[in-house]
């Protein structure tokens, strides 16, 4: 079975300015590329809640165009994201795909032969850590996003300064 790293996008890989959807707002966070390069022996996935679609702040097309830009930039550095899983729903919709629900991790497990117990979730919000914990992944809270105030609400396995720090911790603690 394969090992994976499931990453939130906004606040972990890219700057989170709130409901990010415009290509001109695209900005990789410092050390994001360096961290992802270190994770070359893992299958990489983006798992992101995008309630701005459900709220009518932007359209599916805006999300796809922005995400395509993210993937193109990462590809320039030989970083392959296997798949982007996204939930377009409002929190009130009570859908099956919004984090902290685990549908996307279960889908990746089946589709890519992933061992969730040997995988990691990196995020900046409580919902990221809950999702990872619910399937037995190790969880890492990066302090680069807007959810850094969740520090006392959830207890991830590690608090990381950024994605590079998270990647180093994964490599050191992957057993």
Q: Is the pLDDT of residue 152 over 60?
A: no
Has residue 51 been placed in a domain?
A: yes
Indicate the number of domains in the chain: 1
**71 domain residue, yes or no:** yes
Tell me, yes or no, whether 62 lies in a domain: yes
For residue 14, the 8-state DSSP code is: B
Q: Is residue 152 part of a domain?
A: no
CA 171 to chain centre: 18
Q: Which domain holds residue 162?
A: 4-120+127-145+157-173
Q: pLDDT at position 146, please?
A: 73
Q: Quick check: is 54 in a domain?
A: yes
The predicted structure's pLDDT at residue 148: 55
> Is there a domain that residue 151 lies in?
no
Catalytic, out of 8, 124, 128, 165:
8
Lookup result for tokens 């992933």: 114
Q: What is the mean pLDDT of the chain?
A: 94
How much is the CA Rg of the chain, to the nearest whole Å?
15
Neighbouring residues of 47: CB distance < 8 A, sequence distance ≥ 6: 6, 7, 8, 84, 85, 86, 99, 104, 105, 121, 128, 131
Domain membership of residue 64 (yes or no) is: yes
Task: Please state the rounded mean pLDDT for residues 145-172.
Answer: 83
The domain that holds 50 is classified in CATH as 3.40.50.1000
pTM (predicted TM-score): 0.95
List % helix, strand, coil for the chain (3-state, nearest 5). Answer: 40, 20, 40
The verdict on whether 10 is a catalytic residue reads yes
Decide if 150 is inside a domain.
Answer: no
Catalytic residue among 10, 124, 128, 165: 10
Q: What is the mean pLDDT of residues 161-166?
A: 97
Confidence of residue 175 (pLDDT cuts 50, 70, 90): confident
């Amino acid at each position: 079975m394969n090992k994976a790293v499931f990453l939130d996008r906004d606040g972990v890989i890219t700057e989170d300015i709130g409901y990010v959807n415009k290509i001109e707002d695209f900005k990789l966070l410092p050390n994001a590329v360096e961290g992802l390069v270190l994770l070359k022996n893992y299958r990489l996935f983006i798992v992101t809640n995008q309630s701005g679609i459900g709220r009518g702040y932007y359209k599916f097309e805006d999300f796809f165009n922005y995400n395509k830009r993210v993937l193109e930039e990462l590809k320039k550095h030989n970083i392959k994201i296997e798949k982007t899983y996204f939930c377009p729903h409002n929190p009130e919709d009570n859908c099956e795909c919004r984090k902290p629900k685990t549908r996307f991790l279960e889908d990746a497990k089946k589709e890519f032969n992933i061992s969730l117990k040997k995988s990691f979730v990196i995020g900046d919000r409580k919902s990221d850590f809950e999702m990872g914990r619910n399937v037995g992944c190790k969880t890492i809270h990066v302090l680069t996003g807007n959810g850094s105030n969740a520090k006392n609400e959830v207890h991830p396995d590690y608090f990381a300064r950024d994605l590079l720090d998270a990647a180093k911790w994964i490599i050191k603690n992957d057993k």
